[in-house]
Every structure is written in structure tokens, then in C-alpha cells.
Amino acid sequence: MATTDKASTRDRLLDAASELFYREGVSIGVEALCRTAGVSKRSMYQLFASKDEVLAASLARQLPEYETQLAPDSQGAGTPRERILHVFERLEKASSEPAYQGCPYLAALVELKNPQHPASTVARGAKDWMKGYFRTQAEDGGARDAELLARQLMLIFDGASARSGARVETLDGLTVATVTTLLDAAGVT
Amino acid sequence: MATTDKASTRDRLLDAASELFYREGVSIGVEALCRTAGVSKRSMYQLFASKDEVLAASLARQLPEYETQLAPDSQGAGTPRERILHVFERLEKASSEPAYQGCPYLAALVELKNPQHPASTVARGAKDWMKGYFRTQAEDGGARDAELLARQLMLIFDGASARSGARVETLDGLTVATVTTLLDAAGVT
């Protein structure tokens, strides 16, 4: 019973952290976090050393879902080119949701400023995962320079997520068109 | 004399705001801002209605310099293609500075979340200026679709500034190579 309660307190904290940090930014305070979670500060500090650790844990917990949402199944059908484009089709779809505020991992990196912050480490991991995914597909697709293509695709992904999340751009096919041009130029057919 | 003092207080506040907001993010408090500026809170509130207004004014004050740094002189030599590439050469140079943390206007948009914030309005203006610059050059350079090319270039600029500012990418020619591919595809020779 005590174990279940602890798990539930942890889940409530991470749920609240995911929601608040995404919607309002990383500067949200411990008070607001605990109030939203319905958890006492004492309980929070029994589970986490600091608010920074809660933020890092909430980003880490979201990562498997983030990866599943963006990338096709690991054994998914399709060519490497299609598997790359799939990520951008998903991004464009996600960015059209009213609550979309951009990639939570890029936002964390931009907002925290500090590469040593535990949440920055998690966020870098998410970016490394995606770049690795692109690089693998680029290699499988015979890109002339797979590393260059992967880095280019990350520029597009992060530029598009930041701009659409900030409502200065409505993607509407923009990333798919841009990525198509880069895939063609890299020889990924 | 009183006018000079007022101007100097305002300048000190805006200098401190530019530095602190850039280095530590938009959540920096009024206390820290006034302490860094060496200005009393009372003086601050005589000049600005709120911290949000200080942030907006500091971003607005930086804008002419930002534009001068990135774009060549309005009567500058060079083809439209060269004038576009110039922006990315400048971005790459800026991003190699140790204190670089990305484009301050993109950071403000990502951090503030709120499109109605007075600083978001200034930041959108900076982004609109750049997109307009790219669009004009794209038209002058005979791009097949000048609007599409300008939007693509903004993805690259903002993706590159966010990623290099967050230290997950070292540009080192990446944007120039990517933009070259997009210019070629758009028919801007």
C-alpha cells in the first residue's frame, strides 16, 4: 500500500510537472507544482532532491512516448526516405494542435541556458536520439553525407518546432517540402 | 540635468535587462534587475509600468544593432544570393562566441509562451523583419517561390540559433551548406 501511494505521488508530481513546465516554462515554482499535483512539499522532497530533479524526471518519463509519436515502429514498413519524412509529417500534425508550444526538449534547452542542469542532460538525450535516428535512415538510404543530412534535418525539426510553437509560423507542409529538397540533394531517393 | 539622469537610469535598466534576460532567461526578477542596474525599484516604476515593459523595451532597443549585424548595408554590394548567405555567415560567426546563447528574439518567444506579452510583440517584429529581408532578396534573385524560400530560411536560422545557443550543435558551415542547397533548388543563382 505504501509503495502504491508513493508511486501515485510520484506520478501526480510528474504529471503536473509535464503540464506546467510545458505550458508556462521552466521557471514555475515548487509551490505551484505541488499545488497542481495535490502533493505536499514534504512529500515532493521525500521523492526528489529538488525541483530541477522533478523537471528532469518528467522529461525523461515522456521520452518513450515522444519517440513513438515521431518515429514509425522500429520494424515499420517504408523506405528510409519515407521514414525520415514520417517524422516531419507527425511534427506538422502535432504543431496544428491548439495546445502545441513546440518540442518540450528544445524548449527546456533554450529556457534553462545551463547545459549542466539535469533536465538539459535529458533534453540533449532526446535530441541525440532523433539525430541518431535520422543518421541511421540517411545511411540506409545511401546519403552522400549521412552526418551532414542528419544535422540539416535537426535544424529543420528544431526551427519548425520553435517557430510553430511560438505561433510565428504555420507549417502546413513547409517542413515536408524543405526536407524533400534536402533528401533529393543528398541522394536519398 | 534631470533629463540626463532619467536617460541614464533608463539606459542602465535596459543594459541590465539585455544582459540578464539573455544570460539567465525571462524569469529574472525585478530585484535582480534593479540591483544589476544600480537603480531603485521606485525609479524603475517611474519609467516603466512593469518588468515586462522593461524586457520589451530592451529587446526593441537592440533591434537596429541586430539588423545591422546580420544584414549587409542596405546599399551593400553583392547579389541577392550573396546577401542571403551573408546573414548565415554572420550567424555562424556570432554562434562561435563563448557567450552566445542563440537569437534573443527566438529565446523570448520560446520562453514567454504568451503571444500577447509586449516582448513577444517586439520579438515577432524582429522575426518579421528577417523574413521580409529574405523574401525581398529571394524575389530580387528570381526565386521560383520567394515566400516558400523565405520561410525555409527562417527555419534554418531559428533552428541553427536555438541548437548552437543550447550547445547541441556547432555550426561550422552547416547553415551555409544547407542554405546553398535551398537557394540552388529555388533557382536563386
Cell triple for A181: 529538397
**Residues B52-105: tens digit of each pLDDT:** 999 999 999 999 999 999 998 766 679 999 999 999 999 999 999 999 999 999
How far is CA A138 from each of CA A72, A154, A179, rounded to the nearest angstrom?
15, 13, 12
B contacts of A109 (beta carbons < 8 Å): 162, 166, 168
**Residues A74-119: tens digit of each pLDDT:** 666 799 999 999 999 999 999 999 999 999 999 999 999 988 999 9
CA of B103, closest CA in chain A: separation in Å? 10
Provide the pLDDT for residue A26. 87
Radius of gyration of chain A (CA): 18
Contact (Cβ atoms closer than 8 angstroms) between residue A59 and residue A108: yes
CATH code of residue B28: 1.10.357.10
ipTM of the modeled complex? 0.94
CA of B2, closest CA in chain A: separation in Å? 37
Number of neighbours of residue B176 by Cβ within 10 angstroms: 15
**Residues B11-51: tens digit of each pLDDT:** 999 999 999 999 999 888 999 999 999 999 999 999 999 99
A contacts of B25 (beta carbons < 8 Å): 26-27, 111-113
Contact at CB, B155 and A163, closer than 8 angstroms: yes
User: Does residue B174 sit at the A interface (CB-CB below 8 Å)?
Assistant: yes
Average pLDDT value over all residues in chain A: 94
How far is CA A128 from each of CA A55, B1, B128, B157, B168, rounded to the nearest angstrom?
19, 57, 31, 20, 9
Report d(CA B65, CA A25) in Å as an integer. Answer: 28
Q: Which domain holds residue B98?
A: 2-186
DSSP string, B6-71: HHHHHHHHHHHHHHHHHHH-TT--HHHHHHHHT--HHHHHHH-SSHHHHHHHHHHHHHHHHHHHHS
Which residue among B25, B109, B148 sits closest to A166, beta carbon to beta carbon? B109
DSSP string, B58-112: HHHHHHHHHHHHHSPPTT--S-HHHHHHHHHHHHHHHHTSTT--S-HHHHHHHHH
Report d(CA B81, CA B134) in Å as an integer. Answer: 10
CA of A166, closest CA in chain B: separation in Å? 6
Report d(CA A112, CA B111) in Å as an integer. Answer: 10
Contact (Cβ atoms closer than 8 angstroms) between residue A37 and residue A78: no
Helix, strand or coil for residue A97? coil
- Chain centre to alpha carbon of residue A86: 16
**Residues A26-47: tens digit of each pLDDT:** 888 999 999 999 999 999 999 9
Contact at CB, B148 and A174, closer than 8 angstroms: yes
Q: How many independent structural domains does chain B possess?
A: 1
User: Does residue B127 sit at the A interface (CB-CB below 8 Å)?
Assistant: yes
